[in-house]
């Protein structure tokens, strides 16, 4: 029997905060096949990182979840602490944004790359771990000399590559990259994106890549899922969604990028007024209606479900 690396069904995540229950993710479903890449996009506060963290059960204590997450055929929410430890790093690994905060400042980069190999006993000895960490550094474009460097001695791009090497240390099937290039300058961002694309090409690594930048996702993702107010509001093949968005929110995100060589689009970039709603105070009906240029009266009372909007595509809008 074969199954997707990751299957998410009707996932709902609610934070239990001092202000009350805060629904951060609402009824999200998707499958990720072996070697497939899914890009999650949307503005800050739309639930992307909460969703990413939930896929390895990295949510704060007291967070309420419902629905199903199956990773490599295992029910994530039913795993014992030991089972969960076995899944992290070896089946699924995560690359966080802001590598300086994600790395231990008092340990060398090499030691941090070797640690998961020892914890998960994927190597027989420290010598083997050292050989593998050198190979991983070479693979992510870092000199082996930097294995003995501390995080503060590395540039932002080098630190992000160390995080990728760490995530690959136990040869996972699934890599979750949460805004891994957001803090990098454009040149380094392009290098890291090229590296991730190469890693996918040379292995059957499945990837979830999160960003607010749709143009980045067209480089690394086979499919796009656009999130707004904790839900997926549009999904489909990445270039198709980017170039022919159907949901008004996706259209606004895609239009926010000026067309290179077109002075008119540079002088009058298309923006979207306002901010996404706070998860604890969602408007009635379609949560996008206060910002939507196409909103109708019925949008204030109906929250549309995803429905087919073309070949392999879905969108949640009353106009579709
Ligand atoms: Fe806009 Fe209405 Fe569609 Fe929501 S349902 S995106 S408010 S047109």
What pLDDT, on a 0 to 100 scale, did the predictor assign at position 182?
74
Both tokens of 201, joined, read 């090409």
Which is nearest to 200 in space by CA: 38, 56, 24, 19? Answer: 38
What pLDDT, on a 0 to 100 scale, did the predictor assign at position 202?
82
Please tell me if the CB atom of residue 291 comes closer than 6 angstroms to any atom of ligand 1. Answer: no
Please tell me if the CB atom of residue 71 comes closer than 6 angstroms to any atom of ligand 1. Answer: no
Cβ atoms of 111 and 118 closer than 8 Å:
no
What pLDDT, on a 0 to 100 scale, did the predictor assign at position 146?
97
Atom of ligand 1 nearest to the CA of 294: 8
What pLDDT, on a 0 to 100 scale, did the predictor assign at position 1?
45
Which is nearest to 14 in space by CA: 41, 51, 39, 52? Answer: 51
CA distance 218 to 240: 9
Please tell me if the CB atom of residue 319 comes closer than 6 angstroms to any atom of ligand 1. Answer: yes
Using alpha carbons, list the distances in angstroms from residue 296 to 222, 277, 285, 301.
33, 18, 11, 10
Q: Where are the alpha helices (DSSP H) in 203-258?
A: 214-220, 238-243, 248-255
- Collapsed DSSP state (helix, strand, coil) of residue 30: strand
Cβ atoms of 165 and 116 closer than 8 Å:
no
For 257, what's the count of Cα atoms within 13 Å in the CB-facing half-sphere? 14
CA distance 15 to 61: 9
Maximal CA-CA distance, the chain:
67
pLDDT, tens digit only, all 320 positions of the chain: 456 999 999 999 999 988 889 999 999 999 999 999 999 999 989 999 999 999 999 999 999 999 999 999 999 999 999 999 999 999 999 998 877 788 999 999 999 999 999 999 999 999 999 999 999 999 888 999 999 999 999 998 899 999 999 999 999 999 999 988 776 777 777 888 888 888 888 888 999 999 887 878 888 899 999 999 999 999 999 999 989 999 999 999 888 765 555 655 555 445 678 889 998 899 999 999 999 999 999 999 999 999 999 999 999 999 99
Whose tokens are 């460097």? That residue is 149
């Amino acid at each position: 029997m074969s199954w997707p690396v990751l299957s998410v069904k009707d996932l709902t995540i609610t934070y239990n905060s001092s202000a009350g229950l805060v629904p951060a993710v609402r009824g999200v479903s998707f499958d990720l096949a072996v070697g497939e890449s899914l890009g999650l996009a949307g503005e800050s506060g739309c639930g992307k990182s909460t969703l990413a963290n939930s896929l390895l059960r990295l949510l704060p204590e007291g967070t309420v979840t419902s629905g199903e997450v199956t990773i490599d055929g295992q029910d994530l929410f039913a795993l014992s602490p030991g089972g969960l430890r076995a899944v992290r790093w070896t089946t699924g690994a995560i690359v966080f944004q802001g590598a300086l905060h994600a790395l231990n400042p008092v340990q060398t980069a090499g030691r941090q790359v070797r640690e998961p190999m020892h914890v998960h006993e994927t190597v027989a000895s420290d010598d083997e771990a050292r050989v593998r960490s050198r190979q991983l550094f070479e693979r992510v474009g870092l000199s082996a000399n930097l294995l003995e460097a501390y995080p503060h001695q590395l540039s932002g791009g080098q630190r992000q590559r160390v995080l990728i090497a760490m995530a690959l240390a136990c040869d996972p099937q699934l890599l979750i990259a949460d805004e891994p290039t957001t803090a990098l300058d454009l040149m380094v961002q392009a290098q890291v994106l090229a590296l991730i694309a190469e890693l996918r090409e040379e292995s059957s690594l499945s990837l979830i890549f999160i960003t607010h930048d749709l143009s980045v996702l067209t480089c690394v993702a086979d499919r796009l899922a656009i999130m707004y107010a904790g839900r997926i509001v549009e999904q489909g093949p990445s270039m198709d969604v980017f170039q022919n968005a159907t949901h008004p929110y996706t259209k606004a995100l895609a239009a926010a990028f000026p067309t290179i060589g077109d002075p008119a689009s540079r002088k009058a970039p298309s923006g979207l007024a306002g901010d996404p709603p706070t998860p604890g105070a969602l408007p009635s009906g379609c949560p996008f209606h206060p910002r939507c240029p196409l909103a109708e009266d019925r949008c204030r009372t109906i929250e549309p479900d995803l429905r087919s909007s073309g070949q392999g595509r879905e969108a949640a809008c009353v106009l579709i």
